[in-house]
């Protein structure tokens, strides 16, 4: 039994040794082979170069590179292609040899189960000048139908704003296109989706952007308010139907005001509330209704201030009732801005009345401007500028001291005239004043003691 076992053992050991020798010889032989050939599973630029020498790999790669085409998928279902010859595409022999040199010939056995794939960017090059020329000639660059991207916008409709969707357009970002195409070529990609690769110039704000939503809400706030102008018996209402015409939105989604349009509206407000220089229906002491034109009395809207006030009021976004801002005021509001405190001068009858709070304070005859020398006192509604005691009136050919001076139209005013013995009648036709209203001393004194600056002075000829 021992002899049989020993004989069997003696036969197995040589067999194992022979097998190991054979495997070693195969391993060493293949290792020697892979000294000059690529490992199993070697793939370059998607091309299998297993078992190829560097020269053989170069030949195979060159034939495949010449067939390379990159398809560009563009907006509007358009496509264009870039071919290898268009951009001088070729492989780099030195890089292929470097890839082979990196492979350890004794590690070939591990590549039976694992592919050794190299990226195209390691071995492919293109001509930069040809690439730029090719890109510049693409239809997506040269087309005359290029649509610029446009931010989401707004439309005023039925009392509120709607968001209008953005326009994507088809304008190419040339730098992004260059980089994306270059990357696709170097990596052997067959297709490039320009939209997915963010190559188009896109709008900064879309209908879903929070900035757009916030701007819409603010626009609605501005146009949802009502400003009621009210002064005396005059009313004017401002609301979104007018305000929306003033509003704009800039590229940063900031709301702007067209001040020229706001000014135009303020001019309208002025035409309603201004009474300066108006022709007025005036009821005289004799109960006769006459029209009085001219003068410097009345309300004047301060246009520049009102423009600023309106914009501020709109930005506050709240309903308000207000009066316009005035640069000049009158005693009363509304159509009858004279009120019940005024001086009435009938220059045809040469008579003056002074009413205060509806009650007659004083009346009397006067002498107005000289008709024969063309210095008639101008008709119109004026405002008493101020009053002064002991003034000296100076002209080209006179210097007259007076005790009570009340100017209402430049150098024209009411004053006492101690040099006159008579007043009224038709004196003014040939011996009138230089334009002032000459009054008896007591009349001038009483007016002076009861009148205030700003009081209307109504003078007329019947």
Give me the active site residues, please: 415, 436
**Residue-level length of the chain:** 462
Distance of alpha carbon 459 from the chain centroid: 52
Task: Please give the helix or strand (H or E) that residue 292 lies within, else none.
Answer: strand 289-292
Measured in degrees and rounded to the nearest 5, phi and psi for residue 220 equal: -65, -35
**Interatomic CA distance for residues 34 and 37, integer angstroms:** 4
Burial letters for 356-390: b for 16+ Cβ neighbours within 10 Å, e otherwise?
Answer: beeeebbebbbbbbbbeeebbbbbbbbbbbebeee
Residues 284 and 346 sit within 8 Å (Cβ to Cβ): yes
Strand, coil or helix: 402: strand
Burial-class residue 7 by CB neighbours within 10 Å (0-12, 13-18, 19+). Answer: exposed
Helix (H, G, I), strand (E, B) or coil at 13: helix
Helix (H) or strand (E) holding 166: none
Contacts of 332 (CB under 8 A, 6+ apart): 232, 338, 339, 340
Q: In terms of C-beta distances under 8 Å and separation of at least 24 residues, what long-range contacts does 79-86 make, across chains too? A: 80/138, 80/139, 80/140, 82/134, 82/181, 82/185, 86/130, 86/134
Question: Residue 60 burial by CB count (10 A; 0-12/13-18/19+): exposed, middle or buried?
Answer: middle
Give the burial class of 313: count Cβ atoms within 10 A of its Cβ; 0-12 exposed, 13-18 middle, 19 or more buried: middle
Q: Which residues pair with 200 in a beta bridge?
A: 172
- Nearest of 227, 243, 234 to residue 274 by alpha carbon: 234
Mapping DSSP onto H, E and C, the string for 225-276 reads CCEEEEECCEEEEECHHHHHHHEEECCCCCEEECHHHHHHHHHHHHHHHCCC
Q: Which structure tokens are listed for 289?
A: 């209704």
Residue 27: CB atoms within 10 A of its CB come to: 13
**Is residue 182 within 8 Å of residue 130, measured between CB atoms?**
no
């Amino acid at each position: 039994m021992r002899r049989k076992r020993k004989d069997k053992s003696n036969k197995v050991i040589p067999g194992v040794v022979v097998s190991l020798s054979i495997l070693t010889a195969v391993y060493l032989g293949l290792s020697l082979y892979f000294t000059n050939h690529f490992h199993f599973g070697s793939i370059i630029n998607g091309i299998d170069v297993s078992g190829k020498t560097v020269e053989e790999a170069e030949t195979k790669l060159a034939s495949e590179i010449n067939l390379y085409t990159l398809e560009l998928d563009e907006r509007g279902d358009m496509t264009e292609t870039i071919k290898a010859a268009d951009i001088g595409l070729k492989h780099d022999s030195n890089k292929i040899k470097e890839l082979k040199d990196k492979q350890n010939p004794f590690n070939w056995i591990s590549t039976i189960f694992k592919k050794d794939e190299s990226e195209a960017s390691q071995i492919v090059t293109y001509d930069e000048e040809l690439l730029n020329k090719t890109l510049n000639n693409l239809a997506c660059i040269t087309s005359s139908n290029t649509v610029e991207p446009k931010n989401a916008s707004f439309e005023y409709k039925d009392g509120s704003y709607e968001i209008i969707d953005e326009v994507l357009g088809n304008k190419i970002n040339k730098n992004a296109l260059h980089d994306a195409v270059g990357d696709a070529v170097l990596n052997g990609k067959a297709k490039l989706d320009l939209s997915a690769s963010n190559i188009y110039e896109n709008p900064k704000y879309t209908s879903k952007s929070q900035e757009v939503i916030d701007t819409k809400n603010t626009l609605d706030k501005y146009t949802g308010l009502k400003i009621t102008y009210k002064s005396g018996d005059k009313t004017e209402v401002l609301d979104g139907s007018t305000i929306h015409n003033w509003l704009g939105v800039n590229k940063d989604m900031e709301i702007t005001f067209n001040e020229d349009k706001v000014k135009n509206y303020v001019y309208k407000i002025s035409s309603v509330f201004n009474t300066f220089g108006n022709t007025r229906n005036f009821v005289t002491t004799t109960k006769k209704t006459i029209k009085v034109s001219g003068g410097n009395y009345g309300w004047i809207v301060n246009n520049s201030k009102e423009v600023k006030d309106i914009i501020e009021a709109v930005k506050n976004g709240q309903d308000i009732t207000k009066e316009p801002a005035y640069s000049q005021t009158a005693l009363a509001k509304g159509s009858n801005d004279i009120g019940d405190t005024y001086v009435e001068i009938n220059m045809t009858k040469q008579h003056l009345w002074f009413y205060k709070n509806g009650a007659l304070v004083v009346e009397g005859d006067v002498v107005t401007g000289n008709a024969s020398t063309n210095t008639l006192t101008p008709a119109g509604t004026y405002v008493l500028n101020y009053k002064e005691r002991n003034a000296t009136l100076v002209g080209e050919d006179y210097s007259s001291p007076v005790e009570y001076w009340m100017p209402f139209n430049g150098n024209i005013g009411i004053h006492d005239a101690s040099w006159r013995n008579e007043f009224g009648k038709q004196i003014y036709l040939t011996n009138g004043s230089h334009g002032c209203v000459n009054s008896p001393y007591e009349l001038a004194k009483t007016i002076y003691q009861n009148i205030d600056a700003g009081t209307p002075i109504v003078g007329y000829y019947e």
